[in-house]
């Protein structure tokens, strides 16, 4: 338990977060790991491949996706979180912006909340974070999953994300939550054009001054498909290029579907970053 809460290795090497979708409609693993047993098996496999964290999500947040009712999300996610936190040594993260889901997950052994809304969608999320003091991923998104890809634009994408991080850290601080266990994520694909996603990856180092670990999740996303003209099932190499560049720039956590190849890529990118 103590080991879990430390987020072992953070700062010493890049961490790989394996994506565990427990949803019937997620855009790339759609319907494959619906059942609890299959989800658990997939998590075991990701850990064997080198995952440092498992991120369990019950609601697809791909562009245009409809929100999932609370009860449905709870039914999908809680049995898996309970089983995984009992069985696995790696920390469990819950991918949710709903305070009630987050609280239930923390009660069942999760130690991290991955909130794609950066604590904006659920007014009580801040109270859950203040009470349980979990690791919390604050992700930037312009708009909501339903409307975020409807003509997003920025004058200065990096500056706008920096401003958001600044404001969110202030919000947390005003509720007595220090940045010690806050992870910042620029939210690749969440209300961004292709050029914005590329600029973010090129400029990850611009987010390091906050003193928080930076996480990125480019895995299989459409900007890769757009640049390479490839469908979702052929975006592994693009994903590896993206996570490698991010780690070379100073990102400390990468959120991916394909754990083994990402592990190898980011470990090499990290070795190069550390080289004299």
Closer by beta carbon to ligand 7PJ, 87 or else 167: 167
Catalytic hit among 76, 108, 192, 221: 221
192 classed as catalytic: no
We find the least distance from the C-beta atom of residue 254 to ligand 7PJ, in angstroms, to be 10
- In the complex, the smallest distance separating the C-beta of residue 220 from ligand 7PJ, rounded to whole angstroms, is 6
Set 76, 108, 220, 255: catalytic member: 255
Which residue shows structure tokens 């494959």?
32
- Residue at shortest CB range from ligand 7PJ: 217
Which residue number, 61 or 122, has a Cβ lying nearer to ligand 7PJ?
61
For the chain, the 3-state helix, strand and coil shares in percent, each to the nearest 5, are 45, 15, 40
Q: Examine the residue annotation and report whether 202 is marked as an active-site residue of this protein.
A: no
CB nearer to ligand 7PJ: pick between 78 and 112: 112
Compare residues 255 and 263 and give the one whose CB is closer to ligand 7PJ. Answer: 255
Cβ closest to ligand 7PJ, residue 181 vs residue 221: 221
- Shortest distance (Å) from residue 83 CB to ligand 7PJ: 22
**Beta bridge mates, 18:** 54, 256
Cβ atoms of 126 and 171 closer than 8 Å: yes
- Provide the minimum distance between the beta carbon of 116 and ligand 7PJ in the complex, in angstroms, as a whole number: 5
DSSP the chain: -HHHHHTTTBTTB-EEEEEEE--SS-TTTTTTT-SHHHHHHHHHHHHHTT-SEEEEE-S--STTPPPPPHHHHHHHHHHHHHHHHHH-SS-EEEE-S-HHHHHHHHHTT--EEEETTSS-S-TTHHHHHHHH--EEEEE--SS-TTTTTSS---SSHHHHHHHHHHHHHHHHHHTT--GGGEEEE--TTSS--HHHHHHHHHTGGGGGGG-S-BEE--TT-HHHHHHHT--GGG-HHHHHHHHHHHHHHT--EEEES-HHHHHHHHHHHHHHHH--
Binding region for ligand 7PJ (CB under 6 A): 19, 61-62, 95, 114, 116, 137, 139, 185, 187-188, 215, 217, 219, 221, 255
Nearest distance from C-beta of residue 221 to ligand 7PJ, angstroms:
6
Positions marked active-site: 221, 255
């Amino acid at each position: 338990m103590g080991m879990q809460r430390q987020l072992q290795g953070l700062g010493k090497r890049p961490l790989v977060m394996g994506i565990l979708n427990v949803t019937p409609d997620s855009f790339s693993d759609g319907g494959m790991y619906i059942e609890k047993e299959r989800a658990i098996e997939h998590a075991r496999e990701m850990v064997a491949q080198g995952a440092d964290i498992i991120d369990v999500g019950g609601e697809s947040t791909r562009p245009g996706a409809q929100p999932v009712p609370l009860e449905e999300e709870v039914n999908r996610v809680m049995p898996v979180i309970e089983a995984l936190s009992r069985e696995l040594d790696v920390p469990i993260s819950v991918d949710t912006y709903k305070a009630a889901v987050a609280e239930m997950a923390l009660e069942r052994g999760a130690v991290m909340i991955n909130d794609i809304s950066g604590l904006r969608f659920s007014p009580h999320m801040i109270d859950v974070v203040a009470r349980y003091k979990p690791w919390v991923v604050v992700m930037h998104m312009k708009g909501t999953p339903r409307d975020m890809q409807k003509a997003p634009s920025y004058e200065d994408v990096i500056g706008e994300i920096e401003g958001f991080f600044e404001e969110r850290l202030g919000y947390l601080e005003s509720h007595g939550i220090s940045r010690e266990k806050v992870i910042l994520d620029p939210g690749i694909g969440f209300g961004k054009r292709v050029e914005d996603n590329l600029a973010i990856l090129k400029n990850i180092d611009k987010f390091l001054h906050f003193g928080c670990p930076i996480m990125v999740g480019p895995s299989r996303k459409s900007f890769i498909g757009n640049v390479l003209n490839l469908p979702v099932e052929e975006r592994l190499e693009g994903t590896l290029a993206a996570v490698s560049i991010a780690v070379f720039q100073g990102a400390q956590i990468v959120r991916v579907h394909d754990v083994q190849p990402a592990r190898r890529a980011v470990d090499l990118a990290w070795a190069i970053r550390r080289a004299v």
